[in-house]
């Protein structure tokens, strides 16, 4: 015989544990916005402001709003069954997001909702829950005392965070770099909801403002840039579509700031990989799901995968919607595609590398392969090196050749690999001074004039580095005016 014994969770213990699920400030905001989108909001206003020596966050929408009973039910932890079938645009799942996201940032959550002229409001105060050890919410009627209430639309909802201790300390008045926090949150929301903000076909018409600043969409694939390479969209399996992109190289941008903007926070190397969208809302990005390593050669590669809300169970979407497991059928397909997916990005960088070692461009470095080994060395047949060696007597020439061989053997491969892997675009060669550049340009020109005519020598120099990128200096050093 067995007896059932009810073990009711201790409210004061469980409520504190629920705060540590792992939300960041920006991911918590995104989870609240999901509810607004599900409620058919077209305008969402976020206010995150220091008020009376404390920090308050208010999220207002013009969605459908809730009546009293619906709002009270929504305030319950676990207000919906994650196994229930979701509407196509329903971004919720567990019935926990609003509460756990808010609790992760604040100790006092108030939700005010208005529908058909009727207003209701309830407050979760975690200090009250802990003190009374009871799952009790406070019903509010003092609407005018609630921050942000005066801007609540005729139909809509206000979510208010107070006692924001995770940012500001225990009493909500600690010192915080608000500018950084708000800027990072704005960038995150511009990215996560970029398909809504850009009015993509099939998404609700959505506008989000943050402290009075309208958010612009941040498309991680930079599809408006003609230099972006995109593959055709393909169906990997039922309910899963995939499309790969290779972003433009830095050399195609006139403005470095624009290039860095699309690198996202952390840069291109960190943010390569899969961008997983659930109902067109970005939930996970910058990961290969263990299928490939992040390398400099594929740092311009990003892969868009779209799934619907009916895929939650298959992908094991978590409460925060920032973690998922790629189903085996998708892993197998993506694994076979991974090399092809990365090929355009490799080509962008390999093409640049080829210019350094092609025999048609007088490389200063040679590259040779012997089995599994690739060896680099100084090209003793380079016109500048050969011209200098020819001016030496036999003794000095031998010493010069030995010195060049020594320098060639000391190529800092480990340091180069480390630097390029971390940020390939930040690695560059030492720049020649104007005088050194002019001297070498004249010497190189004289060397190749021994087997080319003047026009051929000029055209050769126009196509190779370092002369190509400093062409006006090259012409000046040679005393040539280009018509």
- Residue 240 and residue 203 in one domain: no
Rounded to the nearest 10°, the torsion over CA 57, 61, 67, 72 is -30
- Residue 182 and residue 300 in one domain: no
pLDDT of residue 392: 87
180-224, pLDDT tens digit by residue?
999 999 999 999 999 999 999 989 899 999 999 999 999 999 999
- Residue 448 and residue 401 in one domain: yes
Tally the domains of the chain. Answer: 3
| Domain termination site, one of 290, 325, 351 | 351
320-329, 340-349, 417-426: lowest mean pLDDT where? 340-349
Find which of 58-67, 84-93, 159-168 is predicted with most confidence, using mean pLDDT.
58-67
pLDDT of residue 360: 53
pLDDT of residue 128: 95
423 touches 269 (CB < 8 A):
yes
pLDDT confidence tier of residue 25, bands split at 50, 70 and 90: very high
286 touches 271 (CB < 8 A):
yes
34-79, pLDDT tens digit by residue?
999 999 999 999 999 887 777 899 999 999 999 999 999 999 987 5
Q: Is the pTM of this model over 0.85?
A: no
- Residues 432, 256: Cα–Cα separation, whole Å: 22
114-154, pLDDT tens digit by residue?
999 999 999 999 999 999 999 999 999 999 999 999 999 99
- Residue 107 and residue 177 in one domain: yes
Question: Whole domain around residue 280: which residue ranges?
Answer: 229-351
Residue 159 forms part of a structural domain: yes
Average pLDDT over residues 442-465: 82
pLDDT > 80? residue 355: no
What is the average pLDDT score of the chain?
Answer: 86
Residue 153 forms part of a structural domain: yes
Average pLDDT over residues 388-402: 88
Kind of pairing between the strands at 118-125 and 108-115? antiparallel
- Residue 19 and residue 53 in one domain: yes
pLDDT confidence tier of residue 351, bands split at 50, 70 and 90: low
What does the angle CA 194 – CA 200 – CA 203 come to, to the nearest 5 degrees? 90
- Residue 236 and residue 346 in one domain: yes
Residue 63 forms part of a structural domain: yes
pLDDT confidence tier of residue 93, bands split at 50, 70 and 90: very low
- Residue 311 and residue 373 in one domain: no
- Residue 115 and residue 67 in one domain: yes
pLDDT > 60? residue 298: yes
| Domain termination site, one of 302, 324, 351 | 351
pLDDT confidence tier of residue 344, bands split at 50, 70 and 90: low
Residue % of the chain over a pLDDT of 90: 46
Residue 222 forms part of a structural domain: no
- Residue 243 and residue 347 in one domain: yes
Candidates 86, 80, 79, 74; CA nearest to 113 is 74
- Residue 122 and residue 20 in one domain: yes
- Residue 311 and residue 438 in one domain: no
Give how far Cα 103 sits from Cα of 34, 71, 130, 244, Å: 16, 17, 13, 37
- Residue 129 and residue 252 in one domain: no
Residue 31 forms part of a structural domain: yes
Residue 5 forms part of a structural domain: no
Residue 219 forms part of a structural domain: no
pLDDT > 50? residue 8: yes
pLDDT of residue 482: 59
pLDDT > 60? residue 101: yes
Q: For residue 43, give the CATH number of its domain.
A: 3.30.565.10
pLDDT > 70? residue 92: no
Q: For residue 239, give the CATH number of its domain.
A: 3.30.230
Residue % of the chain over a pLDDT of 70: 89
Angle between helices 25-38 and 178-192 (to 10 degrees): 40
- Residues 126, 103: Cα–Cα separation, whole Å: 8
């Amino acid at each position: 015989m067995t007896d059932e014994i009810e073990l009711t969770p201790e409210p004061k213990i469980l409520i504190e544990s629920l705060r540590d699920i792992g939300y960041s400030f920006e991911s918590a905001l995104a989870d609240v916005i999901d509810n607004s989108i599900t409620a058919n909001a077209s305008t969402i206003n976020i206010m995150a402001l220091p008020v009376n020596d404390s920090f308050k966050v208010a999220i207002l929408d013009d969605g459908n709003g809730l009546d009293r009973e619906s709002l009270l039910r929504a305030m319950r932890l676990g207000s919906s069954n994650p196994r229930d079938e979701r509407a196509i645009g329903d971004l919720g799942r567990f019935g926990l997001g609003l509460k756990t996201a808010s609790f992760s940032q604040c100790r006092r959550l108030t939700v005010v909702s208005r529908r058909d002229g009727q207003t209701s409001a309830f407050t979760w105060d975690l200090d009250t829950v802990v003190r009374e050890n009871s799952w009790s919410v406070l019903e509010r009627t003092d609407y005018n005392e609630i921050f942000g209430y005066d801007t609540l639309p005729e139909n809509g909802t206000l979510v208010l965070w107070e006692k924001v201790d995770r940012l500001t300390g225990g009493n909500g008045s600690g010192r915080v770099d608000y500018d950084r926090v708000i800027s990072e949150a704005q960038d995150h929301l511009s990215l996560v909801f970029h398909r809504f903000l850009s009015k993509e076909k099939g998404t609700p018409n959505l506008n989000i403002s943050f402290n009075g600043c309208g958010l612009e969409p941040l498309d991680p694939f930079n599809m408006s840039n003609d230099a972006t390479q995109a593959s055709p969209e393909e169906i990997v399996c039922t309910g899963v579509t995939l499309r790969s992109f290779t972003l433009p190289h830095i050399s195609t941008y006139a403005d470095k700031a624009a290039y860095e903007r699309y690198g996202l926070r952390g840069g291109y190397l960190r943010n390569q990989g899969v961008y997983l969208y659930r109902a067109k809302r970005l939930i996970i990005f910058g990961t290969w799901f263990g299928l490939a390593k992040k390398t400099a050669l594929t740092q311009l590669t990003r892969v868009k995968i779209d799934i619907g809300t009916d895929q939650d169970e298959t992908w094991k979407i978590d409460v925060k919607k920032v973690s998922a497991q790629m189903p085996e059928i998708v892993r197998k397909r993506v694994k076979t595609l991974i090399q092809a997916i990365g090929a355009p990005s490799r080509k962008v960088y390999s093409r640049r590398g080829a210019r350094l070692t092609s025999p048609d461009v007088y490389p200063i470095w040679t590259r040779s392969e012997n089995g599994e080994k690739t060896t680099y060395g100084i090209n003793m047949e380079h016109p500048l090196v050969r011209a200098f060696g020819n001016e030496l007597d036999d003794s000095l020439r031998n010493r010069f050749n030995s010195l060049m061989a020594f320098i060639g053997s000391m190529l800092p491969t480990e340091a180069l690999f480390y630097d390029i892997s971390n940020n390939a675009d930040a690695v560059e060669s030492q720049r020649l001074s104007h005088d050194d550049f002019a001297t070498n340009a004249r010497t190189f020109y004289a060397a190749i004039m021994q087997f080319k005519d003047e026009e051929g020598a000029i055209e050769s120099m126009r196509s190779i580095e370092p002369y190509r990128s400093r062409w006006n200096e090259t012409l000046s050093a040679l005393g040539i005016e280009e018509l």
